[in-house]
Structure 1
Amino acid sequence: MTDKGSTPNHHVKLSLQTTLTSEQQEILSDEALQFLERLVQRFASRVPELLAAREARQAAIDAGTLPDFLPETSHIRDSDWTIQGIPDDLQDRRVEITGPVDRKMVINALNANVKVFMADFEDSFAPGWDEVLDGQQNLRDAINRTISYINPENGKEYKLCDDPAVLICRVRGLHLPEKHLLWQGEAIPGSLFDFALYFFHNYKQLLAKGSGPYFYLPKLQAYQEAAWWSDVFSFAEDEFGLSRGTIKATVLIETLPAVFEMDEILYSLKEHIVGLNCGRWDYIFSYIKTLRNYPDRVLPDRQVVTMEKPFLNAYSRLLVRTCHRRGAFAMGGMAAFIPSKDPERNEWVLNKIQTDKSLEAKNGHDGTWVAHPGLADTAKAVFDKALGARRNQLDISREQDAPITAAELLEPCEGERTEEGMRHNIRVAVQYIESWITGNGCVPIYGLMEDAATAEISRASIWQWIKHGKSLSNGSVVTKALFEQMLQEELIVLELELGRDTFQQGQYQEAANLMSRLTTSDELVNFLTVPGYEYLP
Structure 2
Amino acid sequence: MNTPRSRSFVADLLDEGGLAALETLERATREERAALLQARKDLARRVHAGEDLGLLPETADIRTDPDWRVAPPPADLTYRLVELATPATAEAAKAALAVGADVWVADLEDMLVPTPDRLLAAQQVIEETAATRTGDPAPGVTTLMVRPRGLHLPEAHVLVDGTPASASVVDVLCFLARSGRRLVENGSGPYLYLPKLESWQEARWWGDLLTRAEELLGLPAGCTRVSILVETVQAAYQLEEILHTLRDRVTGLTAGRWDYVFSHLRTYGHRPEHALPDVASFTMNTRFLRTYTELIVRTCHRRGVQAIGGPISLSASGPFDESVAMTHARVHRDKAREAAQGFDGAWALHPALVPVVRAPFEVRDERAGSGAQERLRHRDESQPEVVVDAHALRDVSTLPGSATLTGMRTALRSSLTYLTGWLAGEGTLTISGHIEDFGTVELARMQLWQWMLHGERFAEGPTMSVRLFDRMLEDEIALLRRRGAREDLLQHAVRLLRDSVLAEEPPPFLCTLAYEALVSLEGTAGTSAA
What is the TM-score with the length of structure 1 in the denominator? Answer: 0.90
Higher relative contact order (CA 8 A, sep 6+): 2
Secondary structure of 1:534's aligned partner = helix
Decide which of 247, 258, 268 is 1:270's aligned counterpart.
247
449 and 15 in structure 1: CA distance in 2 versus 1, 3 angstrom threshold = farther
Shift of 1:336: 1.1
Decide which of 79, 100, 121 is 1:113's aligned counterpart.
100
Which one-letter code corresponds to 1:476 in the other structure?
Answer: P
Q: C-alpha separation between the residues in 2 aligned to 1:422 and 1:348? A: 25
Instruction: State yes or no: 1:357 paired with 2:371.
Output: no
Question: 2:350 maps to what in 1?
Answer: 372
Decide which of 200, 214, 218 is 2:195's aligned counterpart.
218
501 and 290 in structure 1: CA distance in 2 versus 1, 3 angstrom threshold = closer
Which one-letter code corresponds to 1:168 in the other structure?
Answer: M
Question: 2:168 maps to what in 1?
Answer: 191
Q: C-alpha separation between the residues in 2 aligned to 1:129 and 1:440? A: 14
Which one-letter code corresponds to 2:7 in the other structure?
Answer: T
Secondary structure of 2:419's aligned partner = helix
Decide which of 428, 432, 448 is 1:462's aligned counterpart.
448
Q: C-alpha separation between the residues in 2 aligned to 1:360 and 1:248? A: 24
Q: C-alpha separation between the residues in 1 aligned to 2:5 and 2:268? A: 39
Shift of 1:48: 1.2
1:17 and 1:181 in contact (8 A); partners too: no
Question: 1:531 maps to what in 2?
Answer: 513
Secondary structure of 2:484's aligned partner = helix
Instruction: State yes or no: 1:234 paired with 2:235.
Output: no
User: For 1:461-500, what aligned pairs fall within 5 Å after superposition?
Assistant: 461-495=447-481, 500=482
User: For 1:32-181, what aligned pairs fall within 5 Å after superposition?
Assistant: 32-80=18-66, 81-145=68-132, 164-181=141-158
Shift of 1:487: 1.0
Q: C-alpha separation between the residues in 1 aligned to 2:8 and 2:202? A: 32
1:332-391 Cα offsets, whole Å, 9 max, x none, are 101211114361101110011001101111111111011110000111111111122412
Q: C-alpha separation between the residues in 2 aligned to 1:398 and 1:503? A: 58
Instruction: State yes or no: 1:337 paired with 2:324.
Output: no
339 and 226 in structure 1: CA distance in 2 versus 1, 3 angstrom threshold = same
Instruction: State yes or no: 1:327 paired with 2:315.
Output: no
Instruction: State yes or no: 1:387 paired with 2:358.
Output: no
Which one-letter code corresponds to 2:6 in the other structure?
Answer: T
Percent identity for Structure 1 against Structure 2: 34
More deviation, 357-366/484-493: 484-493
2:101 and 2:140 in contact (8 A); partners too: no
Shift of 1:492: 2.8
Secondary structure of 1:365's aligned partner = coil
1:17 and 1:182 in contact (8 A); partners too: no
Question: 1:10 maps to what in 2?
Answer: none
More deviation, 78-87/26-35: 26-35
Question: 2:495 maps to what in 1?
Answer: 513
Decide which of 411, 416, 429 is 1:430's aligned counterpart.
416
Q: C-alpha separation between the residues in 1 aligned to 2:192 and 2:383? A: 29
Which one-letter code corresponds to 2:130 in the other structure?
Answer: I
Q: C-alpha separation between the residues in 1 aligned to 2:7 and 2:214? A: 30
Shift of 1:14: 5.9
Q: C-alpha separation between the residues in 2 aligned to 1:94 and 1:418? A: 37
2:81 and 2:346 in contact (8 A); partners too: yes
Q: C-alpha separation between the residues in 2 aligned to 1:535 and 1:490? A: 21
Uncovered stretches (5+) of structure 2, i.e. residues with no partner: 134-138, 523-530
Shift of 1:330: 1.0
2:211 and 2:221 in contact (8 A); partners too: yes
1:320 and 1:398 in contact (8 A); partners too: no
Shift of 1:505: 6.1
Instruction: State yes or no: 1:452 paired with 2:444.
Output: no
1:224-282 Cα offsets, whole Å, 9 max, x none, are 00001111112223334544421100011101111000001101111111111100111
Alpha-carbon RMSD across the aligned residues, in angstroms, is: 2.1
Which one-letter code corresponds to 1:330 in the other structure?
Answer: A
Q: C-alpha separation between the residues in 1 aligned to 2:54 and 2:184? A: 40
308 and 199 in structure 1: CA distance in 2 versus 1, 3 angstrom threshold = same
Which one-letter code corresponds to 1:390 in the other structure?
Answer: G
164 and 535 in structure 1: CA distance in 2 versus 1, 3 angstrom threshold = farther
307 and 66 in structure 1: CA distance in 2 versus 1, 3 angstrom threshold = same
Q: C-alpha separation between the residues in 2 aligned to 1:229 and 1:59? A: 25
Q: C-alpha separation between the residues in 2 aligned to 1:97 and 1:432? A: 21
Secondary structure of 1:503's aligned partner = coil
Question: 1:154 maps to what in 2?
Answer: none
1:18 and 1:180 in contact (8 A); partners too: no
Secondary structure of 1:369's aligned partner = strand
Q: C-alpha separation between the residues in 2 aligned to 1:434 and 1:320? A: 37
Shift of 1:509: 3.2
Secondary structure of 1:277's aligned partner = strand
15 and 467 in structure 1: CA distance in 2 versus 1, 3 angstrom threshold = farther
420 and 173 in structure 1: CA distance in 2 versus 1, 3 angstrom threshold = same
Question: 1:291 maps to what in 2?
Answer: 268
1:133-192 Cα offsets, whole Å, 9 max, x none, are 11111111222249xxxxxxxxxxxxxxx9651100100001110011112221110000
Question: 1:208 maps to what in 2?
Answer: 185
Secondary structure of 1:502's aligned partner = coil
Q: C-alpha separation between the residues in 2 aligned to 1:305 and 1:207? A: 44
Q: C-alpha separation between the residues in 2 aligned to 1:41 and 1:20? A: 18
1:218 and 1:252 in contact (8 A); partners too: yes
Aligned length: 504
Secondary structure of 1:172's aligned partner = coil
Q: C-alpha separation between the residues in 2 aligned to 1:334 and 1:77? A: 28
Which one-letter code corresponds to 2:389 in the other structure?
Answer: T
Q: C-alpha separation between the residues in 1 aligned to 2:34 and 2:265? A: 23
Q: C-alpha separation between the residues in 1 aligned to 2:2 and 2:372? A: 45
What is the TM-score with the length of structure 2 in the denominator? Answer: 0.91
Q: C-alpha separation between the residues in 1 aligned to 2:3 and 2:75? A: 40
More deviation, 336-345/361-370: 336-345
Shift of 1:401: 9.7
222 and 347 in structure 1: CA distance in 2 versus 1, 3 angstrom threshold = same
Secondary structure of 2:114's aligned partner = coil
17 and 196 in structure 1: CA distance in 2 versus 1, 3 angstrom threshold = farther
Instruction: State yes or no: 1:403 paired with 2:391.
Output: no
More deviation, 480-489/123-132: 480-489
Uncovered stretches (5+) of structure 1, i.e. residues with no partner: 1-12, 147-161
Shift of 1:32: 1.6
202 and 323 in structure 1: CA distance in 2 versus 1, 3 angstrom threshold = same
Shift of 1:125: 1.1
Question: 1:19 maps to what in 2?
Answer: 7
1:68-88 Cα offsets, whole Å, 9 max, x none, are 111111111111211122100
Q: C-alpha separation between the residues in 1 aligned to 2:80 and 2:339? A: 12
Shift of 1:494: 4.0
Secondary structure of 1:69's aligned partner = coil
